[in-house]
Amino acid sequence: MKIGVIDSGIGGITTLREVMKSASADYYYFLDEGNLPYSKKSNEELFDISKSIIDKLSILGIDLVVIACNTLTSAAAAKLRKTNSIPIIGIEPALKPALKNCKRVVTLATSATLCGDKYIKLKSGATDTDVVDVNGDGLQERIERGDISEAERYLDELLKNTGDIDGIVLGCTHYVYLKDHIEALGVRTFDGNAGVARRVKNIAKDLEHCSDTIESGDMSVESKNDESKSSLKNRLVKSNCKKSRVFIHSTGKLPLESISKYLNACVFLW
């Protein structure tokens, strides 16, 4: 099975790490750093960018696309689904679980995500919880540069006037790298990565498309009748699924070693 993953940078690597726990596949990650930040682009530009990325992924025979970017999901996912036959899974700020568990939450997301219809609709579901929107633009560039302590300092500044909060929704996949810093302040965090992983798992099961992941060559199966032969072969195909591999294509520079360490996987350039 081949799964394409798209983000403007290393943010979606946090999504990929979660997805890899639930689906064994060859992952093709398009790291579009050349276009970072997506939040400064219009919905039309983001549709064109992501359409051309999906076209490139399609040539590789991708079965499924994960948009590991809240901004891109909000701007273009619905239109992309209308123009593509490949299943497309997006990510959205995990506000729903935060509303169930918190009294006052911050949604930390890009300006584009916060202004998007998708988020506005999500926020309209808040009845007993105060939701404070914090525009995190600028954080993604700092994180992309690997400047985590500068990103943490900037985040502290952004949160200075939010009052007492008991949760933060990390509404941009880049911000997941700030999770430990936030939780050390005694505030819970919520992100959409586990939800994406669940959906990938379900769709992967539906596609039942494990045969691409076996080692090359056909398999000979000895059995008395044809029916049990084919079910045995099916089971063998499934049990022979290889460990996931990650292929990354980057439009910018790539911190390959740290990505491989973070994912605990072999990472190849594509």
Q: Which among 90, 106, 86, 109 has a CA at the least distance from the CA of 98?
A: 106
CB closer to ligand DGL out of 190 and 213: 190
What CA–CA distance (Å, rounded) separates 253 from 256? 9
> Residues 50, 110, 189, 213: which binds ligand DGL (CB under 6 A)?
110
Give the binding range for ligand DGL (CB under 6 A) out of 16-24, 68-76, 145-153, 250-258: 68-76
What CA–CA distance (Å, rounded) separates 112 from 248? 26
Give the binding range for ligand DGL (CB under 6 A) out of 30-38, 158-166, 211-219, 243-251: 30-38
Q: Does 7 bind ligand DGL (CB under 6 A)?
A: yes
Q: How far is the CB of 166 from ligand DGL (least distance, A)?
A: 23
Q: Does 39 bind ligand DGL (CB under 6 A)?
A: yes
Give the binding range for ligand DGL (CB under 6 A) out of 65-73, 94-102, 249-257, 258-266: 65-73
Q: Which residues does the annotation mark as catalytic? A: 69, 172
Q: Does 37 bind ligand DGL (CB under 6 A)?
A: yes
> Residues 24, 173, 193, 250: which binds ligand DGL (CB under 6 A)?
173
Subset of 205-264 contacting ligand DGL (CB under 6 A): none
What CA–CA distance (Å, rounded) separates 136 from 223? 60
Give the binding range for ligand DGL (CB under 6 A) out of 31-39, 194-202, 225-233, 254-262: 31-39
CB closer to ligand DGL out of 110 and 244: 110
Q: Does 105 bind ligand DGL (CB under 6 A)?
A: no
Which residues contribute to the site for ligand DGL (CB under 6 A)?
Answer: 7-8, 11, 36-39, 69-71, 110, 113, 140, 172-174
